[in-house]
Structure formats: structure tokens, C-alpha cells
Amino acid sequence: VVKRTLRCPYHSWTYALDGKLVAAPNIGTLSDDAGAPIDRYQFGLVPVALTEWLGYAWVCLSDTPPPFEDVMAEAAKTLGDADAINRYGIGGLDVGHRVVYDVAANWKLIVENFMECYHCSSIHPELVDVVPEFARGVAAQANIGRGAEFGSEVAGFTVDGSAGFDRLPGITDDQDRRYFAITAKPTVFINLVPDHVIFHRMYPIAVDRTVVECDWLYTGDVVGSDRD
């Protein structure tokens, strides 16, 4: 079925796919502050920059959006080569788990926290047990093309280091048993490990409040198996 219109479920305003407002309840009887009839063509949707990447829609509201290629280039730089992130097959993964946090902090502080691991030993000791080099206080993003290696006795990226799921089919041996992290500026973090990927998306609500939505992505077989 091909949808030819978009309808707001709250006020029932209906738009054509080119953004024009084509219908709205009682609009013919409404008037503006000056008493003039409402011109529905002045209330269409506003076009924004949109790109699809890694199975997500990336939107920029700026009138002069920066090239999205810069975001992809930064990811390639962190992982070591341009095709590295594609080998995880993120666009074909399914959401196995989602957590939403309402954080009493400015979004820029959350970005800073994600990009450093100086706090890891004291705040995330279980993470340091799985990835021992985090004990040095250096984040994985600093290890260009190398990520951070699991401990020698660690079987998987789990809370206790036990085995997780089968590794994603497209990754190489160089990506196995390693944790990689990317900041897709300004408000997205991506964690990449052998058997899953985690997307963290930030939604600034106020100067002191940010909603963070986290998706754990797995292969369809894993999600369908209902395993923990």
C-alpha cells in the first residue's frame, strides 16, 4: 500500500507528500487575527535535510546543514577504514532492547562523559573487568582503528564477561573481541562490539535536561530467539 498523504493523528491536519496542507478540519470557517480567511497553503510542512544511514533517519534543521559526509568520514577515521562500520550490517539489525533515560544534565556534558574514560575505573568497574585497558583512563575513541581489546579470559561483551551471541557475520577478525565507540556529532553515540551494536540518541529538552534513548541492535535470529 502506497500512502499518498500524511495525517497528524492529533488535529487531523493532512499533508500531501510534497508537504502541502491539503485538508484540515473546519479550516474554511477559521480566520487569522486580522479576520482574514486562513490560507492553508501557508501552513505546509517545512523541508529539512534528511539522510538515511545505518538504518536510521538523520535530520538536520539548519538552513545550511553541514555535509553529512563529514559525519561518515569521522566514523571511518575512528574505525580505521571507510568500510569498517558497514561490516557490522547495522541497517539489517533489529532492535532487541530499548531503554530511555531522562537525565538531569545538559546534553554537552553527556557528550563529554561518553568521550572520556577517566571515570571508568571508579564508576564502571565491571566494564574495566571486560576491557582492562580502560583502567588507564583512555577511551576507545582514542585508539584509532584499533578500539579496545577484551581481556584474555573474557568470552563476550557482557556484564560478567561471559559469552554473548555469535559474532555478526560481516565483521573481520580485527574487529572481533574488540570494543569500538563513535561520536556522530552532535548528539549520537554508537558502540560496536562483535555480537551487537548500541545506538544512543540524545534529545535536548532544556538547558539542564536531556532524554537519552538507547537501542540494542542484534541480528533477527537473536531477537527472534527471545534469549537474554
Per the structure block, which three cell numbers stand in for 172? 573481520
SS3 breakdown of the chain: % helix, strand, coil, rounded to 5?
Answer: 25, 30, 45
CB 183 within 8 A of CB 58: no
Domain membership flag for residue 163: yes
Domain count for the chain: 2
Domain membership flag for residue 1: no
pTM assigned to the model: 0.85
- Quick one: 35 and 116 in the same domain? no
The model's pLDDT over 85-124, given as tens digits with 9 standing for 90+, comes to 999 999 999 999 999 999 999 999 999 999 888 999 999 9
pLDDT > 60? residue 56: yes
Q: Which residues is 49 bridged to in the sheet?
A: 60
* Sole residue written with cell 566494564: 127
Beta strands (DSSP E) in the chain are 5-7, 14-16, 21-23, 49-53, 56-60, 94-103, 148-149, 178-184, 188-193, 196-206, 209-218
- Quick one: 170 and 89 in the same domain? yes
Domain membership flag for residue 70: yes
Domain membership flag for residue 144: yes
Domain membership flag for residue 28: yes
- Quick one: 100 and 134 in the same domain? yes
Domain membership flag for residue 116: yes
Domain membership flag for residue 21: yes
Per the structure block, which three cell numbers stand in for 80? 580505521
The model's pLDDT over 120-154, given as tens digits with 9 standing for 90+, comes to 999 999 999 999 999 988 877 777 888 899 999 99
In which domain, by residue range, is 32 found? 6-42
- Quick one: 35 and 78 in the same domain? no
The model's pLDDT over 151-172, given as tens digits with 9 standing for 90+, comes to 999 999 999 999 999 999 999 9
Model pLDDT, residue 96: 95
